[in-house]
C-alpha cells in the first residue's frame, strides 16, 4: 500500500508541475501569474519534504493536486478570463465570471480534508462534531488570512491589482469568497470523512474513532 501511495503522489506531482509549466507559457499577465502561483511554489516543496515522515492519504493528495490544477488555470488566464468560467456565466446568465468562486470553494474543500487529516493524526481529537467544527473554523480562518494577504499584496503591487483580486465590481467579493471556502470545508467533511477514515485505518495511521 505505501508503495502504491508513493506512486500516486509522484504521479500527481508530475501532473501539477507540468500544468504549472504549461500555464507559465505566455500567460495573459505574467505579473498576476507570478502572484497567483507563488503560494504553491512555496507549498509544494514543503509537502514533498515531509512526505517521507508524514505521507498523506490518497484523498488528501488528490484534493491538493486538484486545487493546484485549478489555480494554474486561473493564473494563466487571470480569473476573470478563464474560458470555462465565461461559458458558465453565459449559460446561466450570471453577472460575472464565477471561476474564482469555484476556486475558493475548491480551496475550502481541499483544505477541509487536509486539515482534518492533520488534526486527527497529530492531536488527540477523534472523529465527531468537535473535530468537524474545528476543521471548519480553521479553514475559515485560513480563508480570511488569504484575503488579508491578497489585500496587502494588491496594495503593494498597485498596477494590475484588479486582475489579481478578480472582484469584478462585487463589493461583497471578500465575504463571498470566505463563505465559499467555509462551505467547501463542510461539504468535504460530509462527503469524504468516511473514505478518509478508511484510508487512515488501512495504512496504520491514527484511527479516527
Better pLDDT: 203 or 181: 181
**pLDDT higher than 60, residue 122:** yes
Helix, strand, coil percentages in the chain from 3-state DSSP, rounded to 5: 75, 0, 25
Residue 14 has pLDDT above 80, yes or no: yes
Report, as an integer, the average pLDDT of 50-78: 94
Which pLDDT band, with edges at 50, 70 and 90, does 75 fall under? very high
**pLDDT tens digits for 139-184?**
999 999 988 887 777 677 665 555 555 556 567 778 889 999 999 9
Q: Please, what is the Cα angle at 86 between 73 and 83, to 5 degrees?
A: 35
Residue-level pLDDT at 163: 54
In the predicted model, is pLDDT for residue 1 greater than 60?
A: no
Query: 83 vs 29, which has greater pLDDT?
Result: 83
Q: For position 2, what pLDDT does the model report?
A: 59
Least confident residue range of 4-13, 31-40, 182-191 = 31-40
Q: What is the mean pLDDT of residues 23-46?
A: 87
pLDDT of residue 169: 59
Please determine, for residue 208, whether its predicted confidence score (pLDDT) is greater than 70.
Answer: no
Q: What is the predicted pLDDT for the residue at 205?
A: 79
Percentage with pLDDT > 70 across the chain? 89
Is the Cβ–Cβ distance between 74 and 36 less than 8 Å? yes
- Give the closest residue to 65 by CA, choosing from 26, 3, 20, 130: 20
- State the alpha helices, DSSP H only, in 78-170: 83-91, 99-122, 129-157, 161-165
| CA contacts within 13 A on the Cβ side of 94 | 16
Residue 43's pLDDT is 83
pLDDT over 50 at 209, yes or no: no
- What mean pLDDT value characterizes the chain? 88
pTM for the model: 0.88
What is the average pLDDT across 52-73? 94
pLDDT at 188 over 90: yes
Amino acid at each position: 500500500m505505501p508503495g502504491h501511495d508513493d506512486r500516486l503522489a509522484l504521479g500527481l506531482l508530475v501532473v501539477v508541475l507540468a500544468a504549472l509549466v504549461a500555464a507559465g507559457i505566455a500567460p495573459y499577465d505574467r505579473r498576476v501569474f507570478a502572484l497567483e502561483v507563488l503560494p504553491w511554489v512555496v507549498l509544494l516543496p514543503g509537502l514533498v519534504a515531509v512526505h517521507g515522515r508524514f505521507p498523506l492519504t490518497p484523498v488528501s493528495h488528490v484534493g491538493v493536486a486538484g486545487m493546484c490544477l485549478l489555480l494554474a488555470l486561473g493564473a494563466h488566464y487571470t480569473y476573470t478570463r478563464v474560458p470555462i468560467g465565461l461559458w458558465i456565466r453565459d449559460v446561466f446568465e450570471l453577472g460575472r465570471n464565477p471561476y474564482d468562486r469555484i476556486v475558493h470553494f475548491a480551496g475550502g474543500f481541499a483544505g477541509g480534508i487536509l486539515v482534518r487529516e492533520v488534526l486527527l493524526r497529530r492531536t488527540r481529537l477523534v472523529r465527531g462534531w468537535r473535530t468537524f467544527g474545528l476543521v471548519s473554523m480553521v479553514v475559515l480562518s485560513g480563508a480570511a488570512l488569504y484575503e488579508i494577504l491578497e489585500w496587502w499584496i494588491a496594495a503593494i503591487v498597485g498596477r494590475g491589482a484588479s486582475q489579481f483580486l478578480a472582484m469584478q465590481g462585487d463589493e461583497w467579493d471578500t465575504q463571498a469568497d470566505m463563505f465559499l471556502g467555509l462551505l467547501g470545508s463542510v461539504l468535504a467533511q460530509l462527503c469524504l470523512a468516511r473514505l478518509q477514515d478508511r484510508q487512515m485505518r488501512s495504512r496504520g495511521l491514527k484511527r479516527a474513532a
